[in-house]
Amino acid sequence: MADMQAISTAVKDGRKKIVEKLVTEALEEGVSAETILNKGLVVGMTELGELFKNGEVYVPEVLVAARAMKAGTALLKPLLQAANVQSLGTVAIGTVEGDLHDIGKNLVAMMLEGTGFTVIDLGENVSPDAFVNAAKEGANIVAMSALLTTTMPMMATTIKALEDAGVRDKVKVMIGGAPITQEYADQIGADGYSTDAASAAELAKRLIA
């Protein structure tokens, strides 16, 4: 019988080839794509997220694990779509206009995907209009990142743009990045703030619930 624990451990250890092999074997044994995703891949990524949050592993390990996770989900995607497995929601994520930093944003995007969200990665230097369009096209959450104190005000500008476009009440807004604080999130009217990728995934789940 396919071992979900082995799949989650392989994800945690960032062993892409082993993840692909175990996922393929599990599918051949008739395990559903949804079970493999939720009891294997997501568990591994969630456990790694906890270790990351506690400072027991670092960014390189998370990136390698995310790559392994992606390889596993790539094998499951067509089956999940065919089975119409519901994603938790859609998150449009990007680094705000004027800011070109994307490592943190990429980590959060991978963690969100690993938790079961559909992620639209808008990239970096994203204009308020691009966030607004994503909200209009059905994103449930807008997630913004800034690494420079000089680009932080673009978060407030983007929230204002969402309000002006009449879509602010349709989306939850999450923000993060090195200079960002909970106080700043409250000040600009964001729905949530998180300090790291693992907490961001948890926050997204709470916001969508």
Which of the listed residues 26, 49, 82 is the one where a domain comes to its end?
82
Contact 201, 114 (CB under 8 A): yes
Residue 127 sits in the same domain as residue 66: no
- What are the phi and psi torsion angles at 96 (to 5°)? -65, 160
Q: Which of 58, 82, 106 is the last residue of a domain?
A: 82
In sequence order, what DSSP letters do the residues of 67-106 get, joined into one string? Answer: HHHHHHHHHHHHHHHHTTPPPS-EEEEEEETT----HHHH
Which residue in the block uniquely carries the two structure tokens 């990007």?
A: 94
Tell me: do 150 and 63 sit in the same domain: no
* Domain with 163 in it: 90-208
pTM for the whole structure: 0.78
Q: Find out whether 99 and 155 touch, Cβ atoms under 8 Å.
A: no
Number of domains in the chain: 2
The last residue of a domain, from among 82, 102, 132: 82
Name every residue whose Cβ is closer than 8 Å to that of residue 47 and which is 6 or more positions away in sequence.
8, 12
Please, where are the H alpha helices in 3-142?
4-12, 16-28, 33-35, 42-53, 59-82, 103-115, 128-136
Note down pLDDT in tens along the chain; length 209 residues: 679 999 999 999 999 999 999 999 999 999 998 899 889 998 898 898 889 888 899 888 988 998 898 899 889 888 877 777 778 999 999 999 999 988 889 889 988 887 889 999 999 999 999 999 999 999 999 999 999 999 999 999 999 999 999 999 999 999 999 899 999 999 999 999 998 888 898 999 999 98
Token pair 């939850």 in the structure block, residue: 172
57 and 103 inside one domain: no
**In terms of domains, do 32 and 64 share one?**
yes
178 shares its domain with 102: yes
